[in-house]
Amino acid sequence: MDLNTKELIRAELNKHVSHSGSQMRSSKQLNVSNATVSKIQAGKSEGLGDAMWTKLAKNLGIRLDEVWHHADTRPALKLQGYFDDARMHGNVFGLVCTPGSGKTDMLDTYVKNHKNVFYVKVERHMTEKELLVNLLQSMGVKTNVRSIYDLSTLVNEKVNPMTQPIIILDEMEKAKNGLLYLFIDLYNRLWKRCGIVLIGTYNLKDRIETGEQRGTVGYNEILSRLGGKFIEIPTPNADDAISVAKANGVEGREALAFISNGAAVKQGVVDMRRVERLVHAWKQKQAELEDQENEEAAA
């Protein structure tokens, strides 16, 4: 945490103490020791860790959007590889991820680090028109166009002059049939000029493959355009959990074991959402220990 941020927290703490009437009252209200409040007010806080500053900022009502650092886990690297392939060669893929695979973090990182990446998260009640409007908004386009045909044409016009564009449609297991058929239309219009990646859970894979076997209209076309199969992204394991924890400032055998073991959903598989919660929990625990040490040292 930089000095400017620490000075902002110190200034807000001074205001809080002044308003409450005493350091002791403020320390109780902010859930930190009086010794910690005293150290910060006296400007003798160089030894305080970031976890303590973050806790104090939160309790003071200061919004510090703590940066979550990306790590190159096995699932993330696989996703990146298929995104790169689709983007650079205009290819089309259907990818299957388990919940808690860290997919969202990889998507956010990829969108941030590459140009002409257009990402839409599908919702249960989304219509074809709503998907196309969201897709155009991701391209920076606002439009009053109403028909699905005209919206699709506008997407085509915007993509045409671009270099290595890619459309990523996430959570496609929630899509109504109309959105799945819209994928066929987009493929036909943009083939080889724009990569397309559909991402979903195993429910999407089972739905399309079962529908294709039963002869559901359009499902054989969808599967054909995906190369005849869905590609399964590996589930994260304990090593992936440790990589993410380290990238976000957690060190030490005890801490890393706490996170990797706590994030396990079954043997050999972890949930990256649990990893994030456990990283925050560990940092909170460290802040409380540090606060206790300050109190004991001041006694």
Mind listing the pLDDT tens digit for each residue in 110-168? 998 999 999 999 999 999 999 999 999 999 998 898 899 999 999 999 999 999 999 99
148 and 196 co-located in one domain: yes
Domain of 40, CATH number, reads: 1.10.260
Q: What is the pLDDT of residue 260?
A: 95
Domain-located, residue 299? no
Work out the mean pLDDT of the chain and round it to a whole number: 91
Full domain range(s) for residue 121:
74-232
Average pLDDT, integer, range 40-61:
83
Domain-located, residue 29? yes
pLDDT at 242 over 70: yes
The Cα–Cα gap between 172 and 149 comes to: 21
Residue with tokens 């809080």: 16
Q: What is the pLDDT of residue 64?
A: 66
Domain-located, residue 211? yes
118 and 43 co-located in one domain: no
Q: What is the pLDDT of residue 65?
A: 56
pLDDT (tens digit per residue) in 260-271: 999 999 888 999
54 and 94 co-located in one domain: no
Domain-located, residue 43? yes
Domain-located, residue 88? yes
> Nearest-CA neighbor of 104 among 147, 70, 127, 132?
70
